[in-house]
Amino acid sequence: MRLFKLLVFSFMLLGLAACSKPDTTAQEAENEEYVTIKPYFNTDWAMDKLWDDGLAEVAVYDAERVVYGNKRSFDLTIITVKEDFNKEYNVKTDDYKRDDLFPVMKVNQFCSIQTDSYPYHYLTSVFIRREQPWYLHKLTTSSQEWCGNTFKAITRERNFNLYYNSYFDGQGEGNWQLPNTLLFEDQLPYSLRALKFQDGLTFKADIAETQQTNKATQPKEYKAIVSTIKSEINNKAAWQVNVQLAPGKVNTYWFATEYPNILLRQQTWDGRTLELKKISRYAYWEGN
* pTM assigned to the model: 0.88
Could you tell me which residues come within 8 angstroms of residue 255 by beta carbon, excluding any fewer than 6 positions away? 192, 193, 197, 238, 239, 241, 261, 262, 263, 264
Query: Which pLDDT score is estimated for 30?
Result: 55
**Pairing outcome for strands 183-184 and 91-92:** unpaired
Write down the pLDDT at residue 184.
98
Domain ranges of the chain: 26-282
Looking at residue 31, what is its pLDDT?
A: 57
Q: Which residues of the chain have pLDDT under 50?
A: 3-26, 28
pLDDT in the model for residue 14:
43
Q: What is the pLDDT of residue 33?
A: 81
The pLDDT of residue 262: 98
Under DSSP, the state recorded for 274 is E
Q: Quick one: how far is CA 286 from the chain centroid?
A: 25
CA pair distance 191, 71, nearest whole angstrom: 27
Write down the pLDDT at residue 1: 53
Specify whether the CB–CB gap between 104 and 156 falls below 8 A.
no
**Per-residue pLDDT reduced to its tens digit, 216-251:** 999 999 999 999 999 999 899 999 999 999 999 999
pLDDT at residue number 25: 43
pLDDT for the residue numbered 16: 41
Which pLDDT does position 21 carry in this prediction?
Answer: 38
Q: How far apart are the C-alpha atoms of 173 and 243, rounded to whole Å?
A: 31
